[in-house]
Amino acid sequence: MASIYLDHNLRTPKYIAVFNLALVDLLGNSAMVPKVLNIFLFNHPHISYNDCLTFLFFCYVFLSMQDLNLVALSYDRAMAIVYPLHYQLKVTHKFMFCLIASFWVFVIIVVLIAIGLLTRLSFCESVVIKSFFCDHGQIYRLACNDYTPSDITAWILPALILWLPLLFVLLSYLSIGYALAKVATVRERMKGFKTCTAHLSLVAIYFLPILITFTLGANIEPNARIINLSLTSVFPPMLNPIIYVLQTQEIKESLKKFLRITTHYKNRKLLEEVTVSWKDCPFSSRSPIQGPNFEGMGKHALLCMPPMEQLGTAHLHLGLAMASSRTPRIPSK
């Protein structure tokens, strides 16, 4: 996120989606990991009803935004490879900002509707949620009254947030494969496909565990559901920065540039500190030694060495003085 924000070369529509993906990963882990650690490490499994619904809202919003960000990135790659001449016109900063903003609005509205349907349910028997967070499917099945609207929502939500995005990603890569098949040389095909490897890795890491979980639904064992959802919640945010740094040349160059600037700044600060120490040195030419007072010489020995420019100048003057003091020789006949 810092490299994208600081480097003007990375302020492209593609990296707007990458920045939003990194932001969603950071916010998602910030919402889920502290509560999960509080449950498992400190043995605090209890949560109030309102806090549970709030926890559900943030977890589902950030989890849903991850795959919608993958949709935005797949659209960007499809336009760049299938329509390279029209890419600058079709994928602009304004378009990418509007696309990301529409995803946020859509996800927030859908999750709020699901939570609103949960508020009409009554819980008169067990209130134990068999999950490591406030899972929507595990909550509405505990209700005593009719939960048909929530059950229908539980089928619609995966279709809107998982199946449709996955279908769009698959169609975009089919179009990319068809466009690359028409390229004459194998080298150009591999070069075009290499730009999609980072995105394909993220798609596989995110969709495989979560699709298994939501496809099996209530038939999956609770422990298996917990493991799959935890893999989906923790591993993609952890691997996203690593994958994009290792497989994206632009981010590599940006990080190298940032490290060079940081190293240059540290060296400059060190040089300024040495210069200030030399000016303040009591044994420098500005403050000559009076008499045989050599106490404290050990403390300032390293700081009181004159700069190399002054040493070079002193040696030059000494050489000129010695040359001028020599008696000129007249060649003998």
Q: Is the dihedral of CA 292, 296, 301, 305 positive or negative?
A: negative
Q: How confident is the model at residue 114 (pLDDT cuts 50, 70, 90)?
A: very high
| DSSP assignments along 149-176, one per residue | HHHHHHHHHHIIIIIHHHHHHHHHHHHH
Q: Using alpha carbons, list the distances in angstroms from residue 225 to 10, 67, 220.
A: 38, 19, 6
The Cα 230–Cα 235 span in angstroms is 8
Q: Residue 176 has what pLDDT?
A: 87
Q: Residue 277 has what pLDDT?
A: 57
Q: Decide: residue 202, CB within 10 A, 0-12 exposed, 13-18 middle, 19+ buried.
A: buried
Q: Is the dihedral of CA 214, 219, 221, 222 positive or negative?
A: positive
CB 237 within 8 A of CB 25: yes
The rounded percent of the chain whose pLDDT value lies above 90 is: 14
Amino acid symbol at 281:
C
Q: Using alpha carbons, list the distances in angstroms from residue 26 to 20, 135, 153, 180, 201.
A: 10, 20, 27, 35, 19
Per-residue pLDDT for 332 more than 50?
no
Identify the DSSP state of 302: T
Q: How confident is the model at residue 272 (pLDDT cuts 50, 70, 90)?
A: low
